[in-house]
Amino acid sequence: MEKATIPAEAAAAAQEKEEEEEEEEEDTVWAWSWGAGTDGQLGNGGFQDHHLPQPLLFPPRCRGRVSFVAGGGAHAIALTSDGEVFTWGRGTHGQLGHGDVENIPHPKFVKFLENYTITCVSAGWNHSGFVTDSGQLFMCGDGSFGQLGSGDNHPRNLPFEVVHFATKHVEKLAFGMRHSLVLLKDNSVYGFGSARRGQIGRCARNQKFYNVPRLVDGFPNCNIENIYANGDHSAALDESGQLYIWGRALIGEHDDDQPRPVFPSLSISQMALGWHHALVLSAGKLYTIGAYRHQKLDPLVLPSAEPAQQLDPPTTSHNHDGSPFHLWLYHVISNTRIKFLGTCN
Amino acid sequence: MSAYDEVEIEDMEWNAELRAYTYPCPCGDLFQITLADLRLGEDIARCPSCSLFLTVVYNAEDFADAKEPQKPSPRPVAVA
């Protein structure tokens, strides 16, 4: 710190203040993690499971600036308010983007992206994506299902720019287990990766995957504002609050390879997808879709006997205070189990 | 306790190191079933790290004399 021009008394006061701040800083934790930790995905420096929230070990310079955390199969990506990116956890497929395949038990700055301002990140089972403020898309990790959109099925251990979007403006990402969804500024949705359950839209028969991004059709006259993915499920929300779901069936056995509007009577503000269920927030009420078989959900939640294509608003709902943070947290607890995703704003 | 999920063998990946077919487990590890298990008609893939297991859907005849798949697993490459 520069102190040369400060008078001695003021300097002492400043130093005292600084010490107070430092003390405060040390006591302040900004993000926590819990659950499975054997690949270092808790980011607390260890490789152990934890039942209780553990403070994430961020380097001091990024404390207080973490704005978002994405959790993958056993790795995680943190985004700071300055557009910097940190990754940790399992690195076996290069998904941490550090140029190697090491597991790292604490958040590590992704140096490759230091000259870019990142605005959105997403983590799939073993792959990662980063969007820059100018709309470029960078990817790394496992590509065996074409989920990197690179035109081949090779893994990458450093982020590379997806050339398919070089002339387009990427805005948001949502990655599932083996697939990737991309939302452009012009509101179009692209998908690539595993196509087995219809999760990247309508495909040729017997086509198991696509390694080149393709347009997801089926949003007539509407502007998609957000996209979601998890497991083999995909979803999109338009500006009027209409939700579309496709991919592996959340209820029943009939997968859907094109976006299907659900809950037409609800105006939906937010949703979250798990591996076997979805949560939907509308006018302060939380709705769920999916089976109760894993006993992860609130006992109020009941599976619907209706096939997915005939989804009506569920008969049970859970009153909720409408706080997105709580929804997020709920999503975290019920869905990921392994990772954390609790960020504190 | 019932199976966490039902997965077709086609959706599982051959892992040469583990010498088993694998599928992602929500705990972060992998459900695993060996070729020997499949030859014997076993249809449960277990996760070594947690209590969950999968039911594997496959045609037993296809695996009666099956040999290990020879799929080279590509190493990560850096593209600057």
Report pTM.
0.82
Q: What is the model's pLDDT at position A31? A: 84
Homologous superfamily assigned to B5-61? DPH Zinc finger (3.10.660.10)
Closest among A88, A98, A95, A107 to A39, alpha carbons compared: A88
Least confident residue range of A125-129, A177-181, A273-277, A302-306: A302-306
More confident residue, A76 or A32: A76
CATH topology of domain A29-343: Methylamine Dehydrogenase; Chain H (2.130.10)
Question: Is A41 close to B2, i.e. CB distance below 8 A?
Answer: no
Whether the pLDDT of residue A186 is over 90: the answer is yes
Provide, as residue numbers in chain A, all residues whose Cβ is less than 8 Å from the Cβ of B77.
Answer: 154-157
pLDDT digits (tens, 9 = 90+) for B22-55: 999 988 999 999 999 999 999 999 999 999 999 9
Residue ranges covered by each domain of chain B: 5-61
Mean of pLDDT over chain A: 81
Of B10, B28, B75, the CB nearest to A73: B28
User: Where does the pLDDT of residue A298 fall: very low under 50, low under 70, confident under 90, or very high at 90 and above?
Assistant: very low
Mean of pLDDT over chain B: 88
Question: Is B76 close to A177, i.e. CB distance below 8 A?
Answer: no
User: Where does the pLDDT of residue A209 fall: very low under 50, low under 70, confident under 90, or very high at 90 and above?
Assistant: very high
Burial profile A155-176: b = 16 or more Cβ within 10 angstroms, e = fewer: bbbbbbbbebbeebebbbbbbb
Residue ranges covered by each domain of chain A: 29-343
Provide, as residue numbers in chain B, all residues whose Cβ is less than 8 Å from the Cβ of A137.
Answer: none
Whether the pLDDT of residue A197 is over 60: the answer is yes
pLDDT digits (tens, 9 = 90+) for A249-259: 988 889 999 99
Whether the pLDDT of residue A68 is over 90: the answer is yes
Q: Name which of A157, A175, A211 to mutate to probe chain B: the one with the most chain B Cβ atoms within 10 A of its Cβ.
A: A157
Question: Is B49 close to A293, i.e. CB distance below 8 A?
Answer: no
In percent, the amount of chain B with pLDDT more than 70 equals 86
Q: Nearest chain B Cα to A73, which residue?
A: B28
Whether the pLDDT of residue B21 is over 60: the answer is yes
pLDDT digits (tens, 9 = 90+) for A259-278: 999 999 999 999 999 988 89
Whether the pLDDT of residue A320 is over 70: the answer is no
Whether the pLDDT of residue A321 is over 70: the answer is no
Of B4, B28, B78, the CB nearest to A156: B78
Q: Nearest chain B Cα to A95, which residue?
A: B76
Whether the pLDDT of residue A326 is over 80: the answer is no
Question: Is A157 close to B4, i.e. CB distance below 8 A?
Answer: no
Question: Is B2 close to A293, i.e. CB distance below 8 A?
Answer: yes
Cα(A318)–Cα(A321) distance, integer angstroms = 10
Whether the pLDDT of residue A324 is over 60: the answer is no
Mean pLDDT to the nearest integer, A176-183:
98
pLDDT digits (tens, 9 = 90+) for A213-251: 999 999 988 899 999 999 999 999 999 999 999 999 988
